[in-house]
Amino acid sequence: MRGRPTRTSGLHKTSAAGLDCATAFQTIALDCIASIKAHHSSACAGDAEAVHQIRVAITRLRAAVAFFAPIVVDAEWLRLKKEIAWLNGPLGAARDSDVVMEYARRKRYRAWADRMVGEQLDQHQTRDHRHLVRSLRSARTQRLVAAIARWIRQGAWLERYRRRKNAETLQSYCMRELNRWHERLVRKGRQLKTLGASRRHRLRIKVKRFRYMLEALTEIVAPDGRGELHHLHKPAKRLQRALGDLRDLKRFAGLANGSPQAENGKRGRKLPPGYRPRKAKLLGAAITAHRDLEHIGVR
């Protein structure tokens, strides 16, 4: 369900020699804008993967802003952030509908989904995609994408950064921030087995951003620093996927709650077949990945 983010421009091929933090941020962020534009038409045509890639690009953009926050966050970003949250609403709803529909089509879940949910899934997916298409084609979205690109290239943050004296090197900044993010992930995930849904969701978002920054920085930091990033990527990716699959499974199972079939007391299991062992397996995979991530630090 979750592939690696699609690269859509040559920006990430910029030579690492002489890169500073501002240029590194611009490289990553403009690649995200290129991805949004590249997948726009396909997403409007109902392509589930294109919708996913736009969501990934937005998440990568927000991760980059969070990572370079002391440098780039300004009043304009705070305004843009609110607009991004607006667009993320229909994007998230459409993506969730696509994921749930994919679950419902799997052989092991097909009969259960038909019995418990019936035609609601198709109706919800159609409704969510229509809402998304209206949002993507709106002037508001076009203005938002253009405004983000302008802010990346020539926002007030850039002039502020250029006035700095003795700015920290990119390599030093990245290692320090990755250490900080890594330590936070380790701390927040130590009680993973007993975390509630809300805290587990926040952990998933944090590890997703960590993974995306590892991938982005691997492309732009100096070659002698890339080894510092590769060894963290695998457990971070495994942890994110396990937590994401756990969320998707729970969301799929929750569809039966409040459905006419469930409310009418129709016979049959309310939970999808194999739900509990699958949930336990995914939670175990997440715990193992977190343990591996804890044992591997940023050197």
Per-residue confidence band for 15, with pLDDT thresholds at 50, 70 and 90: very low
* Spatial CB neighbours of 6, under 8 Å, sequence gap ≥ 6: 35, 38, 39, 53, 56
- From residue 98, alpha-carbon distances to 1, 101, 120 in Å are 10, 5, 13
* 5 in any annotated domain: no
- Give the DSSP H/E element, type plus range, for residue 83: helix 75-105
Q: Does residue 31 sit in the same domain as residue 149?
A: yes
pLDDT digits (tens, 9 = 90+) for 158-214: 999 999 878 889 988 998 999 999 999 999 999 999 999 899 999 999 999 999 999
Q: Does residue 121 sit in the same domain as residue 154?
A: yes
pLDDT digits (tens, 9 = 90+) for 30-56: 999 999 999 999 999 999 999 999 999
Query: Tokens standing for 193?
Result: 């087995």
pLDDT digits (tens, 9 = 90+) for 242-261: 999 999 999 999 887 755 55
Q: Does residue 26 sit in the same domain as residue 69?
A: yes
- Domain housing 217: 169-299
Percent of the chain with pLDDT over 70: 86
Find out whether 161 and 76 touch, Cβ atoms under 8 Å: no
pLDDT digits (tens, 9 = 90+) for 54-70: 999 999 999 999 999 99
Residue 282 has pLDDT above 90, yes or no: yes
Find out whether 213 and 64 touch, Cβ atoms under 8 Å: yes
* 108 in any annotated domain: yes
What is the rounded CA–CA span in Å between residue 75 and residue 73?
7
Q: How many CB atoms lie within 10 A of CB 257?
A: 10
pTM above 0.85, yes or no: yes
Q: Does residue 71 sit in the same domain as residue 102?
A: yes
Q: Could you tell me the CATH number of the domain that includes residue 39?
A: 1.40.20.10
Residue indicated by tokens 């369900």: 1
What is the number of structural domains in the chain?
Answer: 2
